[in-house]
Amino acid sequence: DAGVIQSPRHEVTEMGQEVTLRCKPISGHDYLFWYRQTMMRGLELLIYFNNNVPIDDSGMPEDRFSAKMPNASFSTLKIQPSEPRDSAVYFCASSLEGSEQFFGPGTRLTVL
């Protein structure tokens, strides 16, 4: 298996622009998680899905952030409009039945 796949790996954008991050979980996994990592706050859980249904989005910082999972093999995290404080590394992870989580390589987002 190729593992969790994320794209793009790097994204540089200007304040106010829309940003879309993509994730393909490991085939057969039924949980998908979105995390954000910054030097100041470490790793934070933003939202997670079970069988494509959002379970808990309490970690989403603001209404500017939204996430979807239209099918079992694809999820997006969208920021609109983006702000400089959104600059971070965004990770997607997946697991089977809520057990061991496997992380993707991350998307490094820079908002100028």
Partner 1 sequence: KQEVTQIPAALSVPEGENLVLNCSFTDSAIYNLQWFRQDPGKGLTSLLLIQSSQREQTSGRLNASLDKSSGRSTLYIAASQPGDSATYLCAVTTDSWGKLQFGAGTQVVVTP
Residues lying near partner 1 in the complex (CB under 8 A) are found at 31, 33, 42-43, 45, 48, 50, 55-56, 91, 93, 95, 98-106, 108
The least distance separating partner 1 from the CB of residue 81, rounded to whole angstroms, comes to 27
Residue number, 18 or 56, with CB nearest to partner 1: 56
Question: Measuring CA to CA, how many Å separate 15 from each of 6, 10, 90, 109?
Answer: 22, 16, 17, 12
Three-state SS at 83: coil
Q: Chain-centre distance of CA 52, in angstroms?
A: 14
Q: Which is nearer to partner 1, 12 or 43 (CB)?
A: 43
